[in-house]
Amino acid sequence: MIMIGELVFLIIGALFLVRALSPIKRLISELPEGTLKRRWRLLSNLTLFFLLFYFVFGYNLWLLRESITMLSMLGSLMLLLGGIASYVMGQLALQTANDVKDMAILQHESITDALTGLKNRRYFDQRMSEEVALSLRHKLPLSLMLLDVDHFKKINDTYGHQIGDEVLSSLAKLISGMVRDSDIVARYGGEEIAIITPRTSKEEAALLAERLRDLIEKTTVAMVGTTQEVVQVTVSLGICSLSAVITDKDALLEESDQALYLAKKYGRNRVVVSNW
């Protein structure tokens, strides 16, 4: 009877170990490369080794079936509990990974504009404060661009808001594809897009702005489905940088906005750089 009990414990424990491998493998596949992934791979290998030990123990138990003791029964029970613990650990790890993923998705949605996929105004305000403080502390250049779509209301009135949304979405992709990874692109409001360019002088920002303006002017940003009419737009950009006069976030925003106003006043489809 003891022999049967030991074998049952071993079989059930082995099944739990096998079941534990599945969530652990899934977790490993979802983790990015790094220390954490290497540790879970090590745990997966240890689980396989533990499973192999089950078979070795079971085989020796069968060979020594004539001299079964309570000690070997206790060993089988401990192996069973080890298998159950490994299974529970694997399930908890996978659930934790799913919870972390859900939290990351929620966090991403909380700082992302749903239409354009750009960062939203809330994120922009936070990063502006951080980047200004960082640039002032380390005496690094920092520039801000404000971009506005020319005659956007006319586009909405002529083609409808769906085409207007398509225009904004296309512009977001164009801009994101041209700026650096370190730049922060956000939907500032309506048809305005803000671009924070850390470690960038006013002259460098002006060159980037001109390349953006030229690319947008030459690119089809939407197409009317019923008539196949091509929709193209132009943009106006205002630029300002931190300086001896512009020393905080509010001043940087105000002067960039004033430069954008002048770009529109002087005929649109142009870049204006603040004198400050």
Give the catalytic positions in this structure. 191
CA distances to 177, 180, 208 from 203, rounded to whole Å, are 21, 16, 9
The H-or-E segment that residue 269 falls in is: none
- φ/ψ of residue 16, rounded to 5: -65, -40
3-state secondary structure 142-195: EEEEEEEECCHHHHHHHHCHHHHHHHHHHHHHHHHHHCCCCCEEEEEECCEEEE
Q: Say how far apart CA 219 and CA 234 lie, in whole Å.
A: 10
Q: Are 44 and 112 in contact (CB under 8 A)?
A: no
**How many residues would you count in the chain?**
276
Pairing of β 271-273 and β 235-241: parallel
Q: Residue holding tokens 């922009």? A: 124
CB within 8 Å of 199: residues ≥ 6 apart? 135, 140, 141, 142, 182
Residue 90: which of 35, 39, 43 has the closest Cα?
Answer: 43
- Written as six digits, the tokens of 14 are 């082995």
